[in-house]
Amino acid sequence: MDLPHGDGTISLSLPSCDVDVARPPGRDPVDPRTAAEVAMENPHGPPLASLVDPVDEVAIVVTDVTRDTPDDVLVDVLFEHLPVPRENVTIVVGLGLHRPMTDAELRDGLGEYAPLAVNHDPHAAVTLGAVDGCPIAVHPAVADADVVVSTGMVEPHQYAGFSGGAKTVVIGAGSEAIIRYTHGPEMLSRDGVRLGRVRGNPFRETLDRAGLVAGPDFCLNVTKGPDGFLGAAAGDPASVVRSLASTARDALSVSVDADYDAVVCGVGAPKDANLYQATRAATYVALGDCNPLTAGGRLVVPAALDEGAGEGTGEQRFFDALSSATDADSLYESMRAGYEPGAQRAFVVARVLCEHDVFVTNSTAPDVVDACLMHARESVEDAVEPGSRVLVVPDALNTLLV
């Protein structure tokens, strides 16, 4: 069996184990450009052209390298419906607290539109209003725009249920204040804040309300599964997320038992570039709708980790929290009192580590793994005990275990 690893694969063989494989049912993949064009012709709400005057300044907020969004295609389709000259458009890369994209990455991700792009700096955000007393601030180009548009990937998300919609702008082009509020322990402990849930999710509802303050006014999002893109939707952000989340949920859900000794969680590029992103695989499995592990069972994540823990502010806070802790239980308890934005990934990882060991294999940064209360191993086989009952989830970030 092959598992994703970076831009390639690794081979897995566990002959002494009882192995099951969780593969989502999926659906026939679609061409993202064709799907986006159809979505733009059938939007949720008013069409984009009706929202924009020829003299308007437009900001398009796009995703960064941690999302596998075809931003070059989506931006190109958006331009076909924007009645403004190119010089009236600024593309803002929604980094949140991730590292800036390089010039080469911008060219790869945006093609001919790369010269219009600027990396977001959360410290330069402009306040436009507030939600629940939390300031809503965004990149100056977004604050100054007459119309705000966004791209996005509606994929399973630990807190928002599914990503995409207003999140690209509110978080991606937002300030530390909204990240601190939405990603803090009080919000993450609320009922309904969970992987795969959109309706009745306070995290998602907060993003949608913040989106009414800061934008987007219109979004073009896609969703995908292990075999490719599943669909696209355009228009009102909340409606787009609900529509694509329903599509994704039907295609990505797998019914499983809850008595496995180990779960092997496949990741692959772009998420396995650093430990911050790669640990999503472990937390999505253990903190989803159904944790398939027995008490004390282990999670095994093959990941390249070319960037180590990660290079952005959030990634470094994640590393600092885990690497300075003596054990998961005390770290989790201390972080329940609060933490800096970005460190929320350490909080949920610690929550998982209180119940399960996490092994990260096949990486170029074993020292980083070992420093973060996890266990580095050369291969998946080295991390799984002989005779174990094992569940392999080849694409853990695009599989909902139910």
pLDDT in tens, 122-138: 999 999 999 999 999 99
Instruction: Determine if the pTM surpasses 0.85.
Output: yes
Q: Quote the tokens at residue 222.
A: 């896609």
Taking only Cα atoms into account, the Rg of the chain, rounded to an integer number of angstroms, comes to: 20
CA 134/CA 221 separation, integer angstroms:
27
Give which of 233, 270, 267, 230 is closest to 252, Cα–Cα.
Answer: 230
Q: How confident is the model at residue 196 (pLDDT cuts 50, 70, 90)?
A: very high
pLDDT of residue 66: 84
Which two structure tokens, joined as six digits, stand for 385? 């005990």
Closest Cα to residue 6, out of 306, 228, 374, 225? 306
Q: Give which of 173, 161, 150, 400 is closest to 290, Cα–Cα.
A: 400
pLDDT tens track for 65-95: 888 899 999 999 999 999 999 999 999 999 9
Give the Cα separation of 34 and 37 in Å (integer).
5
Query: pLDDT at residue 205 above 90?
Result: yes
State the pLDDT at residue 224: 93
pLDDT the model gives residue 225 = 87
Q: Is 52 exposed, middle or buried (0-12, 13-18, 19+ CB in 10 A)?
A: buried
Confidence bin at 17 (pLDDT 50/70/90): very high
Q: Which DSSP string do the residues of 118-158 spell out, in sequence order?
A: EE--GGG-EEEEEETTEEEEE-HHHHH-SEEEEEEE--EET
What structural domains and CATH numbers belong to the chain?
2-22+256-401 (3.90.226.30), 32-252 (3.40.50.11440)
Confidence of residue 324 (pLDDT cuts 50, 70, 90): very high
Distance CA 301, CA 272 (A): 9
Q: Which of 30, 153, 172, 151 is nearest to 96 (CA)?
A: 172
- Residues of 79-110 as b/e, b for ≥16 C-beta within 10 angstroms? bebbebeeebbbbbbbbbbbbbbeeebbbebb
Q: How far apart are CA 99 and CA 115, in angstroms?
A: 19
- Cα torsion at 256, 157, 89, 239 (round to 10°)? 70
What are 215-268's pLDDT values in tens digits? Answer: 999 999 999 987 899 999 999 999 999 999 999 999 999 999 879 999 999 999
Q: Is residue 188's pLDDT more than 90?
A: yes
